[in-house]
Amino acid sequence: MLEFTAWKKPVKARVAVPGDKSLTHRGILFSALAEGEMILEHWLDAADTRASVRLVQALGVEVRELSPERLVLERPRRLQEAVTPIDAANSGTTMRLGAGLAAAVHGLTVLYGDASLSRRPMARVVEPLRAMGVQVLAREGGFAPLAIQGGRHQGGQFTLAVASAQVKSSLLLAGLTAEDPVRVIEPALSRDHTERLIAAMGGNITRDGLAVTVYPGSLHAMAFRVPGDPSSGAFWAAIAALDADRAVTVESMLFNPTRTGFYRVLAQMGASVHWDAVSELPEPWGHVEVRGRVCRPVVVEGADIPQMIDEVPLVALLATQCEGTTVIRGAEELRVKESDRIQVTGQILRSLGAQVEDRPDGWVIEGPTRLHGAEVDARGDHRMAMLAAVAATVAESPVRLRGEDAVRISYPDFFAQYHALQPEG
Protein backbone atom coordinates (compact mmCIF):
# COMPACT_ATOMS: atom_id res chain seq x y z
CA MET A 1 0.00 0.00 0.00
CA LEU A 2 1.25 3.50 -0.83
CA GLU A 3 0.28 6.75 0.87
CA PHE A 4 0.09 10.08 -0.95
CA THR A 5 -0.18 13.57 0.49
CA ALA A 6 -1.30 16.78 -1.20
CA TRP A 7 1.11 18.80 -3.35
CA LYS A 8 0.91 22.14 -1.59
CA LYS A 9 3.53 24.19 -3.42
CA PRO A 10 3.63 25.42 -7.03
CA VAL A 11 4.92 22.99 -9.65
CA LYS A 12 6.72 23.84 -12.87
CA ALA A 13 8.20 20.79 -14.50
CA ARG A 14 9.14 19.03 -17.73
CA VAL A 15 8.37 15.32 -17.83
CA ALA A 16 9.53 12.63 -20.21
CA VAL A 17 7.05 9.76 -20.51
CA PRO A 18 7.78 6.21 -21.70
CA GLY A 19 7.24 5.20 -25.32
CA ASP A 20 3.69 4.81 -26.53
CA LYS A 21 2.15 1.48 -25.57
CA SER A 22 0.00 1.06 -28.70
CA LEU A 23 2.89 1.83 -31.05
CA THR A 24 5.29 -0.43 -29.15
CA HIS A 25 2.85 -3.36 -29.33
CA ARG A 26 2.39 -2.80 -33.05
CA GLY A 27 6.11 -2.50 -33.74
CA ILE A 28 6.69 -5.81 -31.96
CA LEU A 29 3.75 -7.70 -33.47
CA PHE A 30 4.21 -6.40 -37.03
CA SER A 31 7.84 -7.55 -37.00
CA ALA A 32 6.43 -11.08 -37.33
CA LEU A 33 5.01 -10.24 -40.77
CA ALA A 34 7.90 -8.09 -42.00
CA GLU A 35 11.06 -8.88 -43.89
CA GLY A 36 14.23 -7.58 -42.32
CA GLU A 37 15.21 -6.13 -38.99
CA MET A 38 12.66 -4.15 -37.01
CA ILE A 39 14.25 -1.62 -34.68
CA LEU A 40 12.26 0.21 -32.02
CA GLU A 41 13.97 2.95 -30.11
CA HIS A 42 12.49 4.35 -26.90
CA TRP A 43 10.06 1.42 -26.78
CA LEU A 44 7.82 0.90 -23.77
CA ASP A 45 9.40 -1.83 -21.65
CA ALA A 46 6.48 -2.81 -19.40
CA ALA A 47 4.49 -5.93 -18.51
CA ASP A 48 1.98 -5.44 -21.34
CA THR A 49 4.49 -5.04 -24.15
CA ARG A 50 6.62 -7.88 -22.76
CA ALA A 51 3.59 -10.10 -23.42
CA SER A 52 3.78 -9.15 -27.11
CA VAL A 53 7.52 -9.88 -27.13
CA ARG A 54 6.76 -13.36 -25.68
CA LEU A 55 4.16 -13.96 -28.36
CA VAL A 56 6.39 -13.16 -31.34
CA GLN A 57 9.32 -15.06 -29.80
CA ALA A 58 7.08 -18.11 -29.48
CA LEU A 59 6.39 -17.81 -33.22
CA GLY A 60 10.10 -17.83 -33.99
CA VAL A 61 10.91 -14.11 -34.13
CA GLU A 62 14.46 -13.55 -32.94
CA VAL A 63 14.88 -10.78 -30.38
CA ARG A 64 18.42 -9.52 -31.01
CA GLU A 65 18.58 -6.68 -28.55
CA LEU A 66 16.34 -5.92 -25.63
CA SER A 67 17.88 -2.93 -23.91
CA PRO A 68 15.95 -0.06 -22.28
CA GLU A 69 16.50 2.11 -25.38
CA ARG A 70 16.41 -0.38 -28.26
CA LEU A 71 14.50 -3.46 -29.22
CA VAL A 72 15.61 -5.32 -32.33
CA LEU A 73 13.47 -8.10 -33.81
CA GLU A 74 13.77 -10.28 -36.88
CA ARG A 75 11.35 -12.91 -38.02
CA PRO A 76 12.32 -16.33 -39.37
CA ARG A 77 11.65 -17.17 -43.03
CA ARG A 78 8.49 -18.93 -41.98
CA LEU A 79 6.65 -18.37 -38.69
CA GLN A 80 6.80 -21.40 -36.41
CA GLU A 81 4.00 -23.04 -34.50
CA ALA A 82 4.26 -22.10 -30.80
CA VAL A 83 4.95 -25.28 -28.84
CA THR A 84 3.29 -24.09 -25.63
CA PRO A 85 0.34 -21.79 -24.86
CA ILE A 86 1.28 -18.12 -24.80
CA ASP A 87 0.58 -15.94 -21.77
CA ALA A 88 -0.88 -12.58 -22.84
CA ALA A 89 -1.13 -11.70 -19.12
CA ASN A 90 -3.20 -8.48 -18.72
CA SER A 91 -2.78 -7.31 -22.31
CA GLY A 92 -5.88 -6.95 -24.50
CA THR A 93 -3.72 -5.65 -27.34
CA THR A 94 -1.51 -8.77 -27.28
CA MET A 95 -4.49 -11.08 -27.28
CA ARG A 96 -6.65 -9.33 -29.90
CA LEU A 97 -3.91 -8.33 -32.33
CA GLY A 98 -2.18 -11.64 -31.58
CA ALA A 99 -5.31 -13.53 -32.70
CA GLY A 100 -5.16 -11.74 -36.07
CA LEU A 101 -1.47 -12.52 -36.38
CA ALA A 102 -2.02 -16.17 -35.46
CA ALA A 103 -4.23 -16.50 -38.53
CA ALA A 104 -0.97 -16.40 -40.52
CA VAL A 105 0.66 -19.29 -38.63
CA HIS A 106 0.39 -22.80 -40.07
CA GLY A 107 -0.46 -24.56 -36.85
CA LEU A 108 -2.17 -23.96 -33.55
CA THR A 109 -1.62 -20.86 -31.39
CA VAL A 110 -3.12 -20.88 -27.90
CA LEU A 111 -3.43 -17.52 -26.14
CA TYR A 112 -4.43 -17.18 -22.50
CA GLY A 113 -4.44 -14.32 -20.03
CA ASP A 114 -4.91 -13.35 -16.39
CA ALA A 115 -8.32 -13.24 -14.66
CA SER A 116 -9.04 -9.71 -15.94
CA LEU A 117 -8.20 -10.52 -19.57
CA SER A 118 -10.21 -13.75 -19.34
CA ARG A 119 -13.31 -11.70 -18.52
CA ARG A 120 -12.91 -9.29 -21.45
CA PRO A 121 -14.97 -9.80 -24.63
CA MET A 122 -13.14 -11.69 -27.38
CA ALA A 123 -16.17 -12.60 -29.55
CA ARG A 124 -15.57 -9.30 -31.33
CA VAL A 125 -12.42 -10.78 -32.89
CA VAL A 126 -13.32 -14.47 -32.79
CA GLU A 127 -16.46 -14.10 -34.93
CA PRO A 128 -14.96 -12.09 -37.81
CA LEU A 129 -11.87 -14.32 -37.85
CA ARG A 130 -14.14 -17.35 -38.13
CA ALA A 131 -15.99 -15.61 -40.98
CA MET A 132 -12.62 -15.41 -42.77
CA GLY A 133 -12.35 -19.18 -42.43
CA VAL A 134 -9.91 -19.22 -39.51
CA GLN A 135 -10.72 -21.92 -36.97
CA VAL A 136 -10.93 -20.34 -33.53
CA LEU A 137 -11.97 -21.96 -30.28
CA ALA A 138 -12.90 -19.80 -27.31
CA ARG A 139 -14.50 -20.34 -23.93
CA GLU A 140 -18.30 -20.20 -24.05
CA GLY A 141 -19.53 -16.64 -24.54
CA GLY A 142 -16.41 -15.71 -26.48
CA PHE A 143 -13.76 -15.47 -23.77
CA ALA A 144 -10.09 -16.41 -23.53
CA PRO A 145 -8.29 -18.75 -23.75
CA LEU A 146 -8.34 -18.71 -27.55
CA ALA A 147 -7.00 -21.49 -29.76
CA ILE A 148 -6.37 -20.34 -33.32
CA GLN A 149 -5.66 -22.75 -36.15
CA GLY A 150 -4.03 -20.60 -38.82
CA GLY A 151 -3.06 -21.19 -42.39
CA ARG A 152 -5.16 -20.27 -45.37
CA HIS A 153 -8.03 -17.85 -44.94
CA GLN A 154 -10.16 -15.48 -46.98
CA GLY A 155 -10.75 -11.77 -46.61
CA GLY A 156 -14.12 -10.06 -46.28
CA GLN A 157 -15.95 -6.95 -45.19
CA PHE A 158 -16.67 -6.32 -41.52
CA THR A 159 -18.81 -3.63 -39.92
CA LEU A 160 -17.79 -3.19 -36.29
CA ALA A 161 -20.39 -2.63 -33.57
CA VAL A 162 -17.89 -0.69 -31.42
CA ALA A 163 -15.09 1.70 -32.37
CA SER A 164 -12.18 -0.46 -31.23
CA ALA A 165 -8.67 -0.12 -32.59
CA GLN A 166 -7.80 -3.52 -31.19
CA VAL A 167 -10.55 -5.24 -33.18
CA LYS A 168 -9.85 -3.20 -36.33
CA SER A 169 -6.13 -3.99 -36.06
CA SER A 170 -6.70 -7.69 -35.47
CA LEU A 171 -8.73 -7.97 -38.68
CA LEU A 172 -6.32 -5.83 -40.70
CA LEU A 173 -3.40 -8.01 -39.57
CA ALA A 174 -5.30 -11.12 -40.62
CA GLY A 175 -6.01 -9.34 -43.93
CA LEU A 176 -2.29 -9.03 -44.68
CA THR A 177 -2.06 -12.81 -44.96
CA ALA A 178 -5.55 -13.51 -46.37
CA GLU A 179 -6.30 -14.58 -49.94
CA ASP A 180 -8.24 -11.40 -50.65
CA PRO A 181 -8.64 -7.93 -49.13
CA VAL A 182 -10.14 -7.17 -45.73
CA ARG A 183 -12.32 -4.11 -45.33
CA VAL A 184 -13.25 -2.85 -41.87
CA ILE A 185 -15.90 -0.21 -41.25
CA GLU A 186 -15.91 1.48 -37.84
CA PRO A 187 -18.81 3.39 -36.24
CA ALA A 188 -16.34 6.18 -35.31
CA LEU A 189 -12.63 6.64 -35.88
CA SER A 190 -10.47 4.84 -33.33
CA ARG A 191 -6.66 5.21 -33.07
CA ASP A 192 -5.16 4.69 -36.50
CA HIS A 193 -1.60 3.52 -35.70
CA THR A 194 -2.10 0.21 -37.46
CA GLU A 195 -3.10 1.89 -40.72
CA ARG A 196 -0.17 4.33 -40.52
CA LEU A 197 2.37 1.65 -39.66
CA ILE A 198 1.20 -0.79 -42.36
CA ALA A 199 1.54 2.04 -44.92
CA ALA A 200 4.97 3.06 -43.57
CA MET A 201 6.10 -0.58 -43.80
CA GLY A 202 5.15 -0.79 -47.47
CA GLY A 203 1.74 -2.44 -47.12
CA ASN A 204 -1.16 -1.60 -49.39
CA ILE A 205 -3.88 0.03 -47.28
CA THR A 206 -6.50 2.62 -48.19
CA ARG A 207 -9.01 4.67 -46.22
CA ASP A 208 -12.38 5.89 -47.38
CA GLY A 209 -14.19 7.73 -44.55
CA LEU A 210 -14.64 5.24 -41.74
CA ALA A 211 -13.74 2.27 -43.95
CA VAL A 212 -10.19 0.87 -44.19
CA THR A 213 -9.15 -1.75 -46.74
CA VAL A 214 -5.94 -3.74 -46.52
CA TYR A 215 -4.66 -5.84 -49.42
CA PRO A 216 -2.71 -9.05 -48.83
CA GLY A 217 1.05 -8.63 -49.04
CA SER A 218 4.20 -8.60 -47.02
CA LEU A 219 5.70 -5.74 -45.04
CA HIS A 220 9.24 -4.38 -44.87
CA ALA A 221 10.70 -3.98 -41.42
CA MET A 222 11.71 -0.47 -40.40
CA ALA A 223 13.42 1.44 -37.63
CA PHE A 224 11.65 4.16 -35.70
CA ARG A 225 11.70 6.01 -32.41
CA VAL A 226 8.51 5.55 -30.40
CA PRO A 227 7.21 8.95 -29.19
CA GLY A 228 6.03 9.33 -25.60
CA ASP A 229 2.64 7.89 -24.71
CA PRO A 230 -0.14 10.53 -24.55
CA SER A 231 -2.15 8.24 -22.26
CA SER A 232 0.74 8.28 -19.78
CA GLY A 233 1.29 12.02 -20.32
CA ALA A 234 -2.37 12.56 -19.44
CA PHE A 235 -1.69 11.86 -15.75
CA TRP A 236 0.86 14.71 -15.59
CA ALA A 237 -1.40 16.96 -17.65
CA ALA A 238 -4.21 16.28 -15.17
CA ILE A 239 -1.94 17.09 -12.22
CA ALA A 240 -1.16 20.44 -13.88
CA ALA A 241 -4.84 21.15 -14.62
CA LEU A 242 -5.90 20.62 -10.99
CA ASP A 243 -4.21 23.77 -9.63
CA ALA A 244 -3.60 27.28 -10.95
CA ASP A 245 0.00 27.20 -9.67
CA ARG A 246 1.07 24.21 -11.72
CA ALA A 247 2.55 23.95 -15.21
CA VAL A 248 3.80 20.71 -16.75
CA THR A 249 5.39 20.15 -20.15
CA VAL A 250 5.21 16.59 -21.43
CA GLU A 251 8.18 16.17 -23.74
CA SER A 252 8.39 14.26 -27.04
CA MET A 253 4.83 13.02 -26.89
CA LEU A 254 2.80 11.43 -29.67
CA PHE A 255 0.45 14.05 -31.20
CA ASN A 256 -1.63 11.69 -33.38
CA PRO A 257 -5.08 13.38 -33.30
CA THR A 258 -6.82 10.02 -32.75
CA ARG A 259 -5.05 9.97 -29.35
CA THR A 260 -5.20 13.55 -28.11
CA GLY A 261 -8.92 13.99 -27.40
CA PHE A 262 -8.20 14.36 -23.68
CA TYR A 263 -5.97 17.38 -24.26
CA ARG A 264 -8.71 19.01 -26.36
CA VAL A 265 -11.18 18.48 -23.52
CA LEU A 266 -8.69 19.97 -21.03
CA ALA A 267 -8.70 23.16 -23.10
CA GLN A 268 -12.53 23.15 -23.21
CA MET A 269 -12.52 22.86 -19.43
CA GLY A 270 -10.41 26.00 -19.18
CA ALA A 271 -6.83 24.75 -18.84
CA SER A 272 -4.21 26.30 -21.08
CA VAL A 273 -2.80 23.70 -23.52
CA HIS A 274 0.08 24.72 -25.75
CA TRP A 275 1.28 22.45 -28.57
CA ASP A 276 4.82 22.63 -29.88
CA ALA A 277 4.99 20.22 -32.84
CA VAL A 278 8.44 18.90 -33.76
CA SER A 279 7.99 16.23 -36.42
CA GLU A 280 5.41 14.32 -38.43
CA LEU A 281 7.38 11.10 -38.91
CA PRO A 282 6.48 8.28 -38.67
CA GLU A 283 3.75 9.74 -36.47
CA PRO A 284 3.35 13.38 -35.39
CA TRP A 285 4.95 14.26 -32.05
CA GLY A 286 6.14 17.24 -30.05
CA HIS A 287 6.00 18.86 -26.62
CA VAL A 288 2.77 19.87 -24.91
CA GLU A 289 2.51 22.32 -22.03
CA VAL A 290 -0.52 22.25 -19.72
CA ARG A 291 -1.09 24.86 -17.08
CA GLY A 292 -4.05 24.96 -14.73
CA ARG A 293 -6.71 25.25 -13.73
CA VAL A 294 -9.82 23.59 -15.15
CA CYS A 295 -12.99 25.50 -14.24
CA ARG A 296 -15.73 24.72 -16.78
CA PRO A 297 -17.92 21.61 -16.82
CA VAL A 298 -18.24 19.75 -20.13
CA VAL A 299 -20.33 17.20 -21.98
CA VAL A 300 -18.17 14.43 -23.46
CA GLU A 301 -19.85 11.98 -25.82
CA GLY A 302 -20.05 10.42 -29.28
CA ALA A 303 -17.12 10.29 -31.68
CA ASP A 304 -14.86 12.09 -29.16
CA ILE A 305 -14.88 9.10 -26.80
CA PRO A 306 -12.70 6.69 -28.85
CA GLN A 307 -10.06 9.43 -29.25
CA MET A 308 -9.55 9.57 -25.48
CA ILE A 309 -10.94 6.25 -24.28
CA ASP A 310 -8.21 5.51 -21.71
CA GLU A 311 -8.25 9.11 -20.41
CA VAL A 312 -12.02 9.48 -19.88
CA PRO A 313 -11.77 8.63 -16.13
CA LEU A 314 -9.38 11.58 -15.71
CA VAL A 315 -12.07 13.90 -17.12
CA ALA A 316 -14.39 12.63 -14.37
CA LEU A 317 -11.73 13.46 -11.75
CA LEU A 318 -11.13 16.96 -13.17
CA ALA A 319 -14.87 17.60 -13.33
CA THR A 320 -15.06 17.25 -9.53
CA GLN A 321 -13.14 20.58 -9.38
CA CYS A 322 -15.33 22.51 -11.87
CA GLU A 323 -18.44 24.42 -10.92
CA GLY A 324 -21.51 22.81 -12.48
CA THR A 325 -22.57 19.48 -13.98
CA THR A 326 -20.29 17.44 -16.23
CA VAL A 327 -21.89 14.64 -18.24
CA ILE A 328 -19.89 11.81 -19.81
CA ARG A 329 -21.91 9.40 -21.91
CA GLY A 330 -21.44 6.85 -24.67
CA ALA A 331 -18.39 5.47 -22.83
CA GLU A 332 -19.78 1.99 -22.06
CA GLU A 333 -16.54 0.44 -23.44
CA LEU A 334 -14.95 1.49 -20.15
CA ARG A 335 -16.87 -1.33 -18.47
CA VAL A 336 -14.80 -3.94 -20.36
CA LYS A 337 -11.31 -2.53 -19.89
CA GLU A 338 -8.71 -3.92 -17.44
CA SER A 339 -11.39 -3.27 -14.79
CA ASP A 340 -14.93 -1.93 -15.01
CA ARG A 341 -13.60 1.62 -15.13
CA ILE A 342 -17.03 3.24 -14.77
CA GLN A 343 -17.57 1.45 -11.48
CA VAL A 344 -14.01 1.69 -10.15
CA THR A 345 -13.59 5.39 -11.03
CA GLY A 346 -16.99 6.19 -9.47
CA GLN A 347 -16.06 4.27 -6.34
CA ILE A 348 -12.63 5.90 -5.95
CA LEU A 349 -13.97 9.43 -6.54
CA ARG A 350 -16.92 8.97 -4.19
CA SER A 351 -14.68 7.64 -1.44
CA LEU A 352 -12.61 10.83 -1.81
CA GLY A 353 -15.78 12.90 -1.28
CA ALA A 354 -16.80 13.67 -4.88
CA GLN A 355 -20.40 13.79 -6.10
CA VAL A 356 -20.38 11.26 -8.91
CA GLU A 357 -23.32 9.24 -10.17
CA ASP A 358 -22.50 6.18 -12.27
CA ARG A 359 -24.55 5.64 -15.43
CA PRO A 360 -24.47 2.53 -17.65
CA ASP A 361 -22.36 4.47 -20.18
CA GLY A 362 -20.56 7.11 -18.09
CA TRP A 363 -21.08 9.43 -15.13
CA VAL A 364 -22.77 12.64 -14.06
CA ILE A 365 -20.43 14.71 -11.88
CA GLU A 366 -21.46 17.71 -9.77
CA GLY A 367 -18.71 20.09 -8.81
CA PRO A 368 -16.88 21.59 -7.22
CA THR A 369 -16.11 19.41 -4.21
CA ARG A 370 -13.05 19.46 -1.96
CA LEU A 371 -11.53 16.02 -2.09
CA HIS A 372 -10.35 14.32 1.10
CA GLY A 373 -8.22 11.28 1.76
CA ALA A 374 -9.40 7.68 1.98
CA GLU A 375 -8.18 4.16 1.37
CA VAL A 376 -8.81 3.20 -2.25
CA ASP A 377 -8.13 0.10 -4.34
CA ALA A 378 -6.86 0.12 -7.94
CA ARG A 379 -8.51 -3.30 -8.45
CA GLY A 380 -5.60 -4.52 -10.50
CA ASP A 381 -5.95 -1.70 -13.04
CA HIS A 382 -2.86 0.40 -13.83
CA ARG A 383 -4.81 3.46 -14.95
CA MET A 384 -6.99 3.42 -11.81
CA ALA A 385 -3.85 3.35 -9.61
CA MET A 386 -2.42 6.41 -11.38
CA LEU A 387 -5.76 8.24 -11.26
CA ALA A 388 -5.86 7.84 -7.47
CA ALA A 389 -2.32 9.27 -7.16
CA VAL A 390 -3.31 12.26 -9.33
CA ALA A 391 -6.40 12.92 -7.18
CA ALA A 392 -4.24 12.79 -4.04
CA THR A 393 -2.30 15.87 -5.17
CA VAL A 394 -5.34 18.02 -4.26
CA ALA A 395 -6.91 15.96 -1.45
CA GLU A 396 -7.07 17.52 2.02
CA SER A 397 -5.79 14.40 3.78
CA PRO A 398 -3.66 11.42 2.72
CA VAL A 399 -4.87 8.94 0.10
CA ARG A 400 -3.82 5.34 0.72
CA LEU A 401 -3.70 3.15 -2.37
CA ARG A 402 -3.92 -0.62 -2.57
CA GLY A 403 -2.79 -2.45 -5.67
CA GLU A 404 -0.23 0.16 -6.72
CA ASP A 405 1.96 -2.47 -8.41
CA ALA A 406 -0.52 -2.50 -11.34
CA VAL A 407 1.48 0.39 -12.85
CA ARG A 408 4.01 -2.19 -14.10
CA ILE A 409 1.50 -2.83 -16.93
CA SER A 410 2.11 0.47 -18.74
CA TYR A 411 4.26 2.80 -16.64
CA PRO A 412 6.73 1.04 -14.30
CA ASP A 413 8.48 4.30 -13.28
CA PHE A 414 5.32 6.27 -12.58
CA PHE A 415 5.67 6.49 -8.80
CA ALA A 416 9.40 7.27 -8.95
CA GLN A 417 8.67 10.19 -11.28
CA TYR A 418 5.70 11.26 -9.15
CA HIS A 419 7.81 11.46 -6.01
CA ALA A 420 10.60 13.28 -7.86
CA LEU A 421 8.10 15.92 -9.03
CA GLN A 422 6.23 16.29 -5.74
CA PRO A 423 7.24 19.59 -4.16
CA GLU A 424 8.64 19.30 -0.65
CA GLY A 425 6.60 20.42 2.35
Q: By CB under 6 A, is residue 48 in contact with ligand S3P?
A: no
x/- mask, ligand S3P, residues 82-121, rule CB under 6 A, reads -----------x----------------------------
x/- mask, ligand S3P, residues 184-203, rule CB under 6 A, reads ------xx------------
Q: Which is nearer to ligand S3P, 61 or 254 (CB)?
A: 254
We find the least distance from the C-beta atom of residue 188 to ligand S3P, in angstroms, to be 11
Q: Which is nearer to ligand S3P, 303 or 421 (CB)?
A: 303
Q: Which is nearer to ligand S3P, 153 or 259 (CB)?
A: 259
Site size toward ligand S3P (CB under 6 A) is 12
Q: By CB under 6 A, is residue 49 in contact with ligand S3P?
A: no
* Gap between the Cα atoms of 17 and 323, Å rounded: 31
Which residue from 309, 322, 342, 387 is in contact with ligand S3P, where contact means CB under 6 A?
309
Q: Which is nearer to ligand S3P, 243 or 333 (CB)?
A: 333
* Gap between the Cα atoms of 412 and 409, Å rounded: 7
Among 53, 51, 165, 32, which Cα is nearest to 104's?
Answer: 32
Q: By CB under 6 A, is residue 164 in contact with ligand S3P?
A: yes
Which residue from 4, 15, 17, 22 is in contact with ligand S3P, where contact means CB under 6 A?
22
We find the least distance from the C-beta atom of residue 91 to ligand S3P, in angstroms, to be 9
Residues 345-404 that bind ligand S3P (CB under 6 A): none
Q: Which is nearer to ligand S3P, 93 or 393 (CB)?
A: 93
Q: Which is nearer to ligand S3P, 74 or 311 (CB)?
A: 311
Which residue from 304, 310, 311, 381 is in contact with ligand S3P, where contact means CB under 6 A?
310
Q: By CB under 6 A, is residue 333 in contact with ligand S3P?
A: yes
The window from 72-80, 125-133, 134-142, 161-169 that contacts ligand S3P (CB under 6 A) reads 161-169
> SS3 sequence, the chain?
CEEECCCCCCEEEEEECCECHHHHHHHHHHHHHEECEEEEECCCCCHHHHHHHHHHHHCCCEEEEECCCEEEEECCCCCCCCCCCEECCCCHHHHHHHHHHHCCCCEEEEEECCHHHHHCCCHHHHHHHHHCCCEEEEECCCEEEEEEEECCCCCEEEECCCCCHHHHHHHHHHHHCCCCCEEEECCCCCCCHHHHHHHHCCCEEEEECCEEEEECCCEECCEEECCECHHHHHHHHHHHHCCCCEEEEEEEEECCCCCCHHHHHHHHCCCEEEEEEEECCCCCEEEEEEECCCCCCCEECHHHHHHHHHHHHHHHHHHCCCCEEEEECCCHHHHHCCCCHHHHHHHHHHHCCCEEEEECCEEEEEECCCCCCCEEECCCCHHHHHHHHHHHCCCCCCEEEECHHHHHHCCCCHHHHHHHHCCCC
Q: By CB under 6 A, is residue 226 in contact with ligand S3P?
A: no
Instruction: Choose, from 48, 192, 304, 310, the residue flagged as catalytic.
Output: 310
Among 321, 252, 262, which Cα is nearest to 285's?
Answer: 252
The window from 34-42, 160-168, 284-292, 355-363 that contacts ligand S3P (CB under 6 A) reads 160-168
The window from 36-44, 68-76, 158-166, 283-291 that contacts ligand S3P (CB under 6 A) reads 158-166
Catalytic-residue membership of 381: no
The window from 29-37, 131-139, 165-173, 274-282 that contacts ligand S3P (CB under 6 A) reads 165-173
Q: Which residues form the interface with ligand S3P (CB under 6 A)?
A: 22, 25, 93, 164-166, 169, 190-191, 309-310, 333
- The residues annotated as belonging to the active site are 310
